[in-house]
């Protein structure tokens, strides 16, 4: 729980390279043949231009020599064949590059997303509620299709240009080491500046990721169906857009400052490069005029110098992008390496069969909160017994439900089933024993049958069970009235989807909680809160029948529902303040009695 381990910072060139190796491994694991193809094509594309430049020199020199020496014609011919072949090879290599890129991109996006999803399903609810981790997950998912491949491609571009540069340097060295120095002088400062500014841009984005997150949230508010109703009614659109603009302006100034600085430096260093080229140009032409260089050599050196500069620029651009991509990989790694807090046990059964559900001295404080939501709560529900939990809003009832169903793992105190802490149980074994209706149950945009079926994934498609569960949840009529019965698709997000009312959804969710036949422990959090009064009375009767001889915990703010239970527990500010059966609690004249009086008064 809490913040994830701080990963290695993408702050230096070496860590950017470390992350590009990491990305390369991802790519390699995704498809070896495609990676090898990509690598070979990169090598070919890197070497072919140097070869072509050299052969161009042979051609020009051959043409000039051919006037005196007929043998030179043959050399020239073969040099042309060689040059054209190399150019052809380059065209092929570039095609192969872009094909393997496209294929790898699709495969890699799938691999990375799959890994992310596999990891996500092993996270605890607490992890999902940790904003840092949640952001990481969102960003990882959003960028999964782009970043890893982009980092690899940019590394390859860098490598390809480095290879080409090595070739150019080798050729230029024969002319003069001064030419090599000129090429590097033109390139290196720009290289260093690029690296520095990439880091600055990177730090800028890192520093402002909360602001960007907020801006993204405002965007979401304005473009999603589920928010449209209230935003439209309350006329929030212009206000939200104004906020959106404000957030942009706040960041833009700093963004512009960095960008302008970056480009001014780029301009100065670019001019330096041009000056270097001019110097080299003059030098080469003068050397040729003096007869020190052949015309062929002049052609070659000019081409090499110009292409060398191009390679330097391309390498720089690649490097700049690599920082950004490395940031993604850093984030992805931080997400994937987030420790699994949940250490699922292996116990198939309890230490004390028949002990039922036991809560001992249980306290719970939400991360980042100062007030505990539960304070030293203890109770025992024997097999066949029903316990009701009542209390004001925010008294900790739903928090208790999440702990009883091991959505949170108890850190102070214990929740035990048959004498064994829940976290020591094998997950599947525990799941088989329990069923739950959460207060904020999910409204899956699946068919209504599947919405019931997911309550027991092993029998998810069993229509007979859907029917039985639906009947017990008093929802048969509801299903029958839907256009396609159980096969009606719910939710408006899909074509022909039907939407249910809040109360109808709750009954479908109730049926879901009754799907699992193996469950001998039932936990219901406000199961009838959305029903109308008549339906509530029917449901109370039905609950009484369902819970007879079952081990159950039922949370309700309606005391009529609570009366079904054998015992009632009153929570207040996370503490158990009263416990007993209805009559005892009424006699006591405490919080329960006053709540009961207040509710009864409402009907008089």
Q: Tell me whether residue 67 or residue 393 sits nearer to ligand ADP (CB atom).
A: 393
* Residue 399 in the binding site for ligand ADP (CB under 6 A): yes
The closest alpha carbon to 449, from 503, 516, 518, 508, belongs to 508
Using the contact rule CB under 6 A, the part of the chain among 6-14, 242-250, 395-403, 546-554 near ligand ADP is 395-403
Least distance from ligand ADP to the Cβ atom of residue 369, Å: 6
* Residue 370 in the binding site for ligand ADP (CB under 6 A): no
- Count of residues binding Mg ion (CB under 5 A)? 3
Distant-in-sequence contacts of 596-602, Cβ < 8 A, 24+ apart: 596/559, 599/558, 599/559, 599/560
- Count of residues binding ligand ADP (CB under 6 A)? 12
Q: Which position has the token pair 């570039």?
A: 94
Choose which of 177, 178, 366, 494 interacts with ligand ADP (CB under 6 A).
366
Using the contact rule CB under 6 A, the part of the chain among 28-36, 183-191, 200-208, 394-402 near ligand ADP is 394-402
* Residue 363 in the binding site for Mg ion (CB under 5 A): no
Residue 557, C-beta contacts closer than 8 angstroms, at least 6 positions apart: 390, 391, 392, 393, 526, 529
Separation CA 592–CA 83 (nearest Å)? 94
Tokens of 391: 């209390």
Tokens of 452: 């019931």
Q: Tell me whether residue 321 or residue 574 sits nearer to ligand ADP (CB atom).
A: 574
* Residue 393 in the binding site for ligand ADP (CB under 6 A): yes
* Residue 497 in the binding site for ligand ADP (CB under 6 A): no
Q: What, of Mg ion, ligand ADP, none, does residue 500 touch, CB below 5 to 8 Å by kind? A: none
Least distance from Mg ion to the Cβ atom of residue 128, Å: 18
Choose which of 391, 449, 453, 455 interacts with ligand ADP (CB under 6 A).
391
Q: Tell me whether residue 440 or residue 496 sits nearer to Mg ion (CB atom).
A: 440
φ/ψ bin of 482: left (φ > 0), alpha (ψ from -120 to 50), beta (otherwise): beta
Q: What, of ligand ADP, Mg ion, none, does residue 223 touch, CB below 5 to 8 Å by kind? A: none
* Residue 533 in the binding site for ligand ADP (CB under 6 A): no
Tokens of 428: 């599947």
Separation CA 556–CA 69 (nearest Å)? 105
CA of 317: how far to CAs of 307, 314, 519, in Å?
A: 15, 5, 60
Choose which of 8, 124, 129, 138 interacts with ligand ADP (CB under 6 A).
129
Choose which of 76, 111, 395, 536 interacts with ligand ADP (CB under 6 A).
395
Separation CA 547–CA 77 (nearest Å)? 95
Q: Three-state SS across 270-327? A: HHHHHHHHHHHHHHHHHHHHCCCCCHHHHHHHHHHHHHHHHHHHHHHHHHHHHHHHHH
Q: Tell me whether residue 75 or residue 439 sits nearer to Mg ion (CB atom).
A: 439
**Using an 8 Å Cβ cutoff, are 466 and 486 in contact?**
yes
Q: Tell me whether residue 297 or residue 395 sits nearer to ligand ADP (CB atom).
A: 395
Q: Tell me whether residue 187 or residue 396 sits nearer to Mg ion (CB atom).
A: 396
Q: What, of Mg ion, ligand ADP, none, does residue 426 touch, CB below 5 to 8 Å by kind? A: none
Q: Which of residues 37-96 bind ligand ADP (CB under 6 A)?
A: none
Choose which of 13, 94, 439, 476 interacts with Mg ion (CB under 5 A).
439
Q: Which of residues 396-435 bind Mg ion (CB under 5 A)?
A: 397-398
* Residue 561 in the binding site for Mg ion (CB under 5 A): no
- The radius of gyration of the chain's CA atoms, rounded to the nearest angstrom, is 35
Q: Are strands 412-417 and 374-381 parallel, antiparallel or unpaired?
A: unpaired
Measured from each CB, the residue nearest to Mg ion is: 398
The closest alpha carbon to 4, from 300, 335, 282, belongs to 335
* Residue 453 in the binding site for ligand ADP (CB under 6 A): no
**Burial level of 363, CB count in 10 A (0-12/13-18/19+)?**
middle
Q: What, of ligand ADP, Mg ion, none, does residue 248 touch, CB below 5 to 8 Å by kind? A: none
The closest alpha carbon to 189, from 87, 276, 88, 248, belongs to 276
Alpha carbon distance, N-terminus to C-terminus of the chain: 49
Using the contact rule CB under 5 A, the part of the chain among 208-216, 256-264, 353-361, 390-398 near Mg ion is 390-398
* Residue 136 in the binding site for ligand ADP (CB under 6 A): no
Q: Tell me whether residue 223 or residue 393 sits nearer to ligand ADP (CB atom).
A: 393
DSSP 498: B
- Residues interacting with Mg ion, by CB under 5 A? 397-398, 439
- Residues interacting with ligand ADP, by CB under 6 A? 129, 366, 369, 373, 391, 393-399
């Amino acid at each position: 729980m809490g913040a994830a381990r701080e990963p290695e910072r993408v702050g230096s060139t070496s860590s950017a390279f470390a992350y590009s190796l990491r990305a390369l491994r991802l790519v390699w694991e995704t498809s070896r043949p495609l990676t090898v193809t990509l690598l070979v094509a990169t090598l070919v594309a890197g070497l072919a231009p140097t070869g072509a430049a050299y052969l161009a020199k042979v051609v020009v020199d051959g043409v000039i020599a051919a006037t005196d020496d007929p043998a030179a014609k043959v050399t020239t011919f073969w040099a042309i064949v060689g040059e054209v072949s190399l150019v052809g090879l380059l065209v092929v290599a570039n095609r192969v590059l872009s094909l393997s890129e496209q294929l790898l991109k699709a495969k890699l996006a799938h691999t990375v997303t799959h890994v992310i999803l596999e990891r996500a399903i092993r996270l605890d609810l607490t992890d999902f509620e940790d904003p840092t981790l949640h952001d990481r997950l969102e960003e990882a998912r959003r960028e999964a299709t782009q970043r890893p491949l982009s980092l690899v491609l940019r590394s390859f571009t860098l490598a390809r240009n480095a290879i080409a540069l090595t070739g150019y340097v080798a050729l230029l060295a024969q002319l003069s080491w001064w030419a090599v120095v000129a090429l590097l002088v033109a390139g290196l400062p720009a290289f260093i500046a690029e690296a520095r500014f990439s880091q600055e841009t990177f730090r800028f984005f890192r520093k402002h990721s909360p602001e960007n997150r907020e801006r993204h949230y405002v965007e979401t508010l304005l473009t999603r169906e589920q928010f449209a109703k209230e935003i439209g009614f309350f006329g929030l659109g212009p206000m939200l857009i104004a906020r959106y603009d404000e957030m942009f302006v706040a960041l833009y100034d700093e963004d512009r400052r960095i960008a302008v600085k970056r480009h001014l430096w780029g301009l100065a260093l670019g001019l330096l490069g041009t000056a270097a080229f001019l110097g080299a140009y003059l030098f080469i032409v003068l050397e040729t005029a003096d007869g020190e260089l052949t015309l062929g050599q002049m052609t070659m050196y000019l081409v090499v110098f110009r292409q060398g500069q191009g390679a330097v620029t391309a390498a720089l651009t690649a490097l700049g992008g690599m920082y950004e991509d490395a940031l993604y990989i850093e984030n992805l790694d931080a997400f994937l390496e987030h420790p699994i807090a949940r250490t699922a046990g292996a116990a198939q059964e309890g230490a004390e069969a028949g002990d039922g559900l036991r809560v001992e001295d249980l306290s719970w404080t939400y991360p980042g909160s100062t007030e505990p939501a539960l304070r030293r709560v203890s109770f025992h529900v024997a097999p066949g017994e029903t316990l009701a939990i009542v209390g004001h809003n925010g008294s900790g009832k739903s928090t208790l439900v999440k702990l009883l169903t091991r959505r949170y793992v108890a850190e102070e105190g214990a929740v035990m089933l048959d004498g064994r802490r829940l976290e020591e149980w094998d997950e599947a074994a525990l799941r088989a024993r329990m069923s739950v209706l959460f207060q904020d149950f999910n409204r899956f945009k699946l068919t209504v049958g599947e919405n019931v079926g997911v309550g027991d994934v092993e029998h998810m498609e069993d229509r007979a069970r859907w029917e039985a569960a639906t009947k017990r949840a008093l929802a048969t009529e509801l299903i029958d009235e839907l256009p396609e019965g159980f096969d009606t698709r719910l939710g408006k997000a899909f074509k022909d989807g039907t939407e249910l009312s809040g109360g109808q959804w709750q009954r479908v969710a109730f049926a879901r909680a009754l799907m699992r036949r193996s469950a001998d422990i039932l936990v219901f959090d406000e199961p009838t809160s959305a029903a109308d009064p008549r339906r509530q009375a029917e449901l109370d009767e039905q609950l009484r029948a369902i819970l007879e001889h079952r081990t159950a915990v039922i949370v309700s703010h309606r005391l009529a529902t609570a009366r079904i239970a054998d015992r009632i527990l009153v929570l207040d500010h996370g503490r158990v303040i009263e416990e007993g059966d209805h009559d005892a609690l009424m006699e006591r004249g405490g919080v329960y009695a006053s709540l009961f009086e207040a509710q009864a008064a409402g009907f008089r």
